[in-house]
A = this chain, B = another copy of it.
Amino acid sequence: MSLHVVLVHHPVLARDGSLIASTITNLDVHDIARSARTYGAASYVLIHPVEAQRQLVERILGHWEGGHGATRIPTRKDALAIVTQAPSLADAYAPYGGRSAVEVWVTGARPRQGKPSTDYPEARARLDATEAAGKAVFLLFGTSWGLAPEIVDDADVYLASIAAKIDAGFNHLSVRAAAAITLDRLRG
C-alpha cells in the first residue's frame, strides 16, 4: 500500500482569497490519522513551513507515543504512528523520487478551469492500478478555505467534489469529515 494522506497548511486560501499558512489543529492530527490508519494509508503527512508548528505536532505525538495518553488510550498510538511531517510538498515527495515520480491527487469544492474531474468508481480503479505499479499516491487536503490554486492546477487527479444525493443547498464539510468520506469512497 502506498497511499499517503496529506494535510496542507501552506499554501492555502484564507477567507478573502489570499494565500496563508494556517495553524495546526489538534483534532485534525488525531481524526485524520485515525481515518487514514483505518483505511490502510502508508502515512499521514502534515505540511507546515513553520518549525514551531511542527514542534507542536511533535509534542502532541510524544504525549500519545510515550506519555500519559499512551496508557489511557493505547490504540491512539497505532493511529499516530503513521504521522510524519514536512516543511513543504516538495520535501514530502522527495523520498519517493520527487514530484515527477509520484501521483498527486486533490479534492475540493471548486471545479478546475476547463479540466475534467475523476469520479469515484474510476478513482478506485486508478488507485489500485497506480499502487500495483509501485507508484506512490499523495492524496491532498487543504485546511482553511482550501488548497492554493497552484497546487490544484499541478495535480494529476482532481476528484469529483463530494455531494449529497439530494442537494441540500449547503456543502461545507469540515476537512476531517471530507477526508473520512474520501477515504471511505476510495477504500471502503
> Bound complex: CA of A37 vs CA of B76, how far in Å?
29
For chain A, the bracket of interface size reads 35 or more
> Bound complex: CA of A187 vs CA of B30, how far in Å?
26
Q: Which residues of B contact A173 (CB under 8 A)?
A: 34-35, 38, 180
| A156-172 contact mask (Cβ, 8 Å, vs B): 1 or 0 | 00000011111010111
Check A133 for interface membership: any CB of B closer than 8 A.
Answer: no
Within 8 A of B (CB), among A76-127: 76, 78-79
Within 8 A of B (CB), among A135-188: 162-166, 168, 170-174, 176-181, 184-185, 187-188
Check A31 for interface membership: any CB of B closer than 8 A.
Answer: yes
Q: Which residues of B contact A15 (CB under 8 A)?
A: 73
List 5 A-B pairs, minimum CB-CB distance, nearest first. A177-B180, A40-B168, A181-B184, A31-B174, A39-B164
